[in-house]
A and B are shown apart, each in its own frame.
Chain A
Amino acid sequence: MAQIFPKWTNDAPRRILLGSIIFLNAIVFSVWYFFSPEFTDVGYAPEQPVPFSHTIHAGQLGMDCKYCHTQVEESKYANIPATQTCMNCHNQVQVQNPENVEAIIESWETGEPIEWTRVHMLPDYAYFNHSAHVNVGVGCESCHGRIDRMEKVYQAEPLSMGWCMDCHREPEKHLRPVSEVTTMGYEVENQIEVGLDLVSKHNISAPTYCQGCHY
C-alpha cells in the first residue's frame, strides 16, 4: 500500500506537542506581562490645558504639596486647586510674561475653571481614600512618584490591586512619620524599624480582605 504521508510527518506529533506547550505558556506569560497595568498604564502622561510644571513649583521652589492640594488630609480626594490658589502668587509673579500664565488669567477673568485632565484613575469599584493614607504616614511619592521632577505629571506606579497589596501586606516597608508625608526623596536606613514603630503607634492594620476596598 502506498504511503499516505511524506516522511517528515513522523516528527509532526512530537513537534506539535512541544509547540503547543510552548505556545500555551507564552499566552499565559504574555497576558500576565503585557496586559498588566504595569505595562499598559505606567507612564501615562496626558496633555494638560495649562503647561504647569511640577519641576518648577514642587522642585525648584520647594512648595509643599498641601499648598495646592489642600484637602488631602481631610478628604477622600486630593483636590486640584482652584484658580484662586494660582492667583495667590500669579497676580504678581510672572505677570511681566503674560504668555506663560495666559490660561489662569483668562480663567480668573471669566470665572471658567480650568479643566485639568485626570492622570491617576482607579476603577469605580475600588474605594480609595487619601486622608486614610496621608494621616498615617503613606508618603505622596510612594504612589505618585517623584512629582518634583515631573515637567508633566505622569503615572509612575501601576495602581493595580497587586501593587496595593504589596503595601497593605507589609506596610512597615513603606511608612514614614506623618510630618514627612509630603517630603520628596525621603529615605532612612532603618526603614523596617521605623516602619514597625509607626505601625504600632498609629495602630495600623491595612485591610487585605475584599471588603476593605470593594463594597
Chain B
Amino acid sequence: MSKTYEYVPEPALVKGNHDFKDITAMITDINIRPTPKGWYVAFGIANMLLLLLLGSIGYLVWEGTGIWGLNSPVGWGWAIINFVWWVGIGHAGTLISAILFLFRQGWRTAINRFAEAMTIFAVMCAGIFPAIHVGRIWVVYWMFPLPNQMLMWPNFNSPLLWDVFAVSTYFTVSLLFWYVGLVPDLATVRDRIKSKIGKMAYGVFALGWRGSNRHWWNYEKSYMILAGLATPLVLSVHTIVSFDFAVSIIPGWHTTIFPPYFVAGAVFSGFAMVLSLMIICRKIYGLEDIMTIDHMEKMNIVVLVTGTMVGFAYIMEQFIAWYSGVEYEKFIFMMRAAGPYAWAYWIMFACNVFSPQFFWSKKLRRNVTFTFIISIIVNIGMWFERFVITVTSLSTDFLPSSWGYYSPTIWDVATYVGTFGLFFTFFLLFLRFLPMVAVAELKGVMPQADPHNYDEDGEFVPPKVEVPEPYKNQTNQ
C-alpha cells in the first residue's frame, strides 16, 4: 500500500514572469497613453446605438406603450425579457467580486474589476425597462414610497415593488464595491499620469489615497464589509426577479423552483458575458498574461456547472408539471415543447443545456475561439429562456378564447438593440479611463508578494522568486 503523492502547485495566476512595475505599466498605461483610433470607431458605433435607444424611448414617451407588440393576452413582452436578461448578466460580476473574494479565490483578481463594471452597466440597461414601461414616465417616481398628498403608496404586497428595492439596492452596493476597489488604482494612475487635468480628475476620485498603512487597513475592512453585503445580493436579486413571475398564479410561472433556477441562469449568462468581453479585451489590450487560459478554463467550468443546473431545472419543470397532475400546468409545458413557441423552446434548450456540455473536454475548455462562440450562444439561449417563460405562459392562458400569438414590433427590437449602445458606451469609457484590472490586488496574488525569506530554521535566505509552471508541456498563450 504505498503510493507516492506528488505536490501539484496551483497554476500561476500571472504568466510571463512579470514584476510589479511591469504589471502597473501594462494596465495603467492603457489609461495614460493617447486614445487609439480603434477605440473611437467602437465608441462611435456604440454612440449610434445609444442614440437609437434614446430615440425609441423618446417615441415611446410621446406615443405610449402601444408602439410595442404587447396586447391581450400577452401583456408582458420584450421589456421584461430584456430586464431579466440584463439583470441576470450582472450577477456574474457580483459573484466574482464578492463570493469568490470571501472564498479567497486568487484568480478572481484578474477579472473582478472588469466583471463588476459589466455588472453596473448591465444593471443600468436593465433598469431602463421597468422605468420606461410604465406608460406615464413622468410619474415614475410613484414606484418609490414618497410622501404625497394623494395618500398613495406602492403596493407592498407586490413583487414588482420588491424588485424596485432589490435592483436599486443591488446597483448601489455594486457601485460602491466597484468604487472602493478602484481607489488605490486611481491613485496609481494619478501618480503616473503627466497631464495636469488628468492628475486633477484621477485625484478627485482617488480621495487623497497615499497608500499609508492606515489607508490600507481601512480599505481592506471596507472591502470585506462590502463583499459581505454583496454576497446575499447575488442570491436575493434574481430570487426577487423570479418572484415577479412565481408569485403570480399563471401556470408555468407559479413554481417554487423559480428562485434557484433564476439565480443559476443569471450566473450562467453572466459568466458567458464576462467571457465574451474578456476574450476580446485581452486580445486587443494584450493582457493575455493576466487574463490567462487558466482563468478562462475556470470560468468555463462555472458555465458548465450552472448550465447543467439550468438544464436540470428545465427537465424538473417538465417532470413536476406531469407529477403535479395539474391540468393547466401540464398543458402549458406541453405547449412550450410542442406549441406555437416550440421553436423558441428548443433554441433555448440547445443553447443552454447542450452547448455548455462541450466543456467536459479540457481541450475545448482551453480553446479561446470555441469558448467565445459558446459564450455568445449561451447569452442567446438565456435571452430565449426569458422569452419562453414570459410569452408562452401568457399567450395560452386559462381562457382558450383569448389565446393569441405575440410578436414584437420594430420598436421592441430598436429599444433592445439600443441598450447595447448604452452598455458599450459606458464599457468603452471604462476601458479607456479606468484601470480594467485591479492592479493592487493582482500584485497580491503574485509570487513576489509572498517571499519566503526564512528557511524552516529561521535562518535568513536571500529572496529567490520562482514562478511555478504546472503546465510545462502545454503552451500558454
| Residues of chain A at the chain B interface (Cβ within 8 Å) | 1, 4-5, 9-10, 13, 28, 31-32, 35-38, 158, 160-163, 165
Contacts and interface: CB of A to CB of B under 8 A. Distances in A.
A179 B208 CA distance: 76
Contacts of B8: none
B176 to A, nearest CB: 13
Contacts of A4: 190, 199-200, 203
A38 B146 contact: no
Nearest to B200: A4
Contacts of B150: 160-162
A161 B200 contact: no
A160 B203 contact: no
B399 interface: no
B151 A165 contact: yes
Interface in B130-189: 146-152
Contacts of B200: 4-5
Given A4-B190, A13-B207, A32 B147 contact: yes
B191 interface: yes
The interface size bin for chain B is 10 to 19
Contact of B148 (A13, A158, A162): A162
Contact of B146 (A10, A32, A158, A161): A32
Contacts of B152: 161
Contacts of A5: 200, 203, 208
Interface in B364-410: none
Contacts of A35: 149
Contact of A37 (B146, B147, B149, B190): B149
A161 B203 contact: no
Q: Is the interface of A mostly helix, strand, loop or mixed?
A: helix
Contact of B149 (A1, A28, A36): A36
Contacts of A158: 149
A122 B152 CA distance: 17
B148 A32 contact: yes
Contacts of B151: 161-162, 165
Contacts of B190: 4
A161 B149 CA distance: 7
A163 B149 contact: yes
Given A37-B149, A158-B149, 12 more contacts: A1-B191, A4-B190, A9-B208, A31-B146, A32-B147, A32-B148, A32-B149, A160-B149, A161-B150, A161-B151, A162-B148, A163-B149
A36 to B, nearest CB: 4
Contacts of B199: 4
Nearest to A162: B151
7 contacts: A4-B199, A32-B148, A35-B149, A36-B149, A160-B150, A161-B151, A162-B151
A36 B148 contact: yes
B191 A28 contact: no
Contacts of A10: 208
Contacts of B191: 1
Contacts of A163: 149
Interface string B202-215: 01000110000000
B140 to A, nearest CB: 14
B208 to A, nearest CB: 7
Contacts of B147: 28, 32
A160 to B, nearest CB: 4
A35 B138 CA distance: 15
Nearest to B202: A4
A186 to B, nearest CB: 26
B247 to A, nearest CB: 20
Contacts of B207: 13
Nearest to B206: A4
Nearest first, the 8 A-B pairs at minimum CB distance are A36-B149, A162-B151, A161-B150, A160-B149, A4-B203, A32-B147, A162-B149, A165-B151
B59 to A, nearest CB: 25
Nearest to B141: A31
A32 B146 CA distance: 8
Nearest to B144: A28
Interface string B195-237: 0000110010001100000000000000000000000000000
Interface string B295-338: 00000000000000000000000000000000000000000000
Nearest to A10: B208
A31 B94 CA distance: 36
A4 B149 CA distance: 49
Nearest to A159: B149
B199 to A, nearest CB: 5
A32 B208 CA distance: 38
Contacts of A38: 149
A37 to B, nearest CB: 6
A158 B146 CA distance: 19
Interface centre among B151, B199, B203, B207, by most chain A C-beta atoms within 10 angstroms, is B151
